[in-house]
Amino acid sequence: MSAPTQPRCHAPAPTAGSQDLRAPIDPEFLVAHLRTVMPSHCKAANLLGSRHALDAVTRHVELLDRLQQSTGGRARDELLTIGARTAEFLAG
């Protein structure tokens, strides 16, 4: 008889590039999150160079683009506003 297996407590950590960008996301949550993290990305870019933040910011743009296509009203306006600020970061 084999020993009982322990239940998994945590899902395996995702590997780079394995996140599914099609998963449902609350637009208001994403806007609030990006407003919180963008200053950190800017600070990191100023201290370490922009290449250190490009991967994360590029993923943010992909999410913003997908969400703004299927969102309306005030939430869409906020997505477009944060998207414009994110585009300024990428252009700079």
Residue type, 44: A
Does pTM top 0.85 for this prediction? no
Q: Which domain holds residue 31?
A: 27-91
53, burial (CB in 10 Å: exposed 0-12, middle 13-18, buried 19+): buried
Whether 12 is in a domain gets the answer: no
How many structural domains is the chain composed of? 1
Residues 76-86: tens digit of each pLDDT? 999 999 989 88
Residues 43-71: tens digit of each pLDDT? 988 898 888 888 888 888 888 888 888 88
Whether 9 is in a domain gets the answer: no
